[in-house]
A = this chain, B = another copy of it.
């Protein structure tokens, strides 16, 4: 079923739900799902409206135009997305394959991650074989000390050339510059291999072992210039015991990382996320 999705944000006030739902009803649309959230601390209103557009009563252009006009009268911020316009996703990796496999398998074999993956970018050649398996072009940009800036520039150009909508850092073990991140605001998802804000920065599994925690986790978040500080999309954990050595934590963690990352990417691709400062509203459907 073809769908249009509106993500809406506004100051909270009376009548928003009545007004917006009536707008779509009067245009002749069937609302498939509608979820709202009011942040009472910040007095903000968030809404996701999902319309059935199988037999659209107006053209897409008309819908966009009339809602634009309506939104102006209410001072709504919003974005509009169509389920049949799949997003183009670039995956950036280093040496470990588990997150890459998961994204590719879900997108290509299982068909439950609605996106195109036109390229994979790495700073190491190790995972070219995995890219080959799924017939996705693989670009390797080994990081050299003095030319990190130029290399990033090349990557940015490549991403723009391929009209990339979303960049997924699937265990890409390089810190991106602020320029890179600001080039794709709210469109870079990173997986951190710890339960943020615990163990920000490097070597989280080793540090988790040393601290003697009884659970380890992973966190998917939007990348922002402040490292590991971006809005969190999804987290999960597993219980461990004292028997688990640092290498066991790495192995157990891989399973957490990939499911957390894939869930976060799915939520983004399904237009279920609105960010609000350091927080995310993640609608369930």
Contacts and interface: CB of A to CB of B under 8 A. Distances in A.
Given A33-B38, A109-B101, A109-B130, A237 B212 contact: no
A66 interface: no
A239 B263 CA distance: 14
A281 B22 contact: no
Interface residues of A, number: 69
A243 B259 CA distance: 20
A80 interface: no
B40 A245 contact: yes
Given A195-B198, A279-B242, A235 B214 contact: yes
B24 A18 contact: yes
Interface in A63-107: 96-98, 101, 105
A101 B105 contact: yes
A177 interface: no
Q: Does more than half of chain A's interface fall in helix, strand or loop, or is it mixed?
A: mixed
A255 interface: yes
Contacts of A17: 17, 21, 25, 31, 34
A132 B21 CA distance: 51
Per assembly, the copies of the chain total 4
Nearest to A281: B242
Interface in A162-210: 195-199, 209-210
A110 interface: yes
A30 interface: yes
Most central of A35, A237, A281 by chain B CB within 10 Å: A237
A38 B32 contact: yes
A282 B25 contact: no
16 contacts: A15-B25, A17-B21, A17-B25, A18-B22, A18-B31, A21-B22, A32-B38, A96-B110, A98-B109, A101-B105, A198-B198, A212-B232, A214-B282, A237-B237, A242-B282, A255-B259
Interface of A: 14-15, 17-19, 21-22, 24-26, 30-38, 40-41, 96-98, 101, 105, 109-110, 112, 130, 133-134, 195-199, 209-215, 217, 231-237, 239, 241-243, 245-246, 251, 254-255, 259, 278-282, 284-285
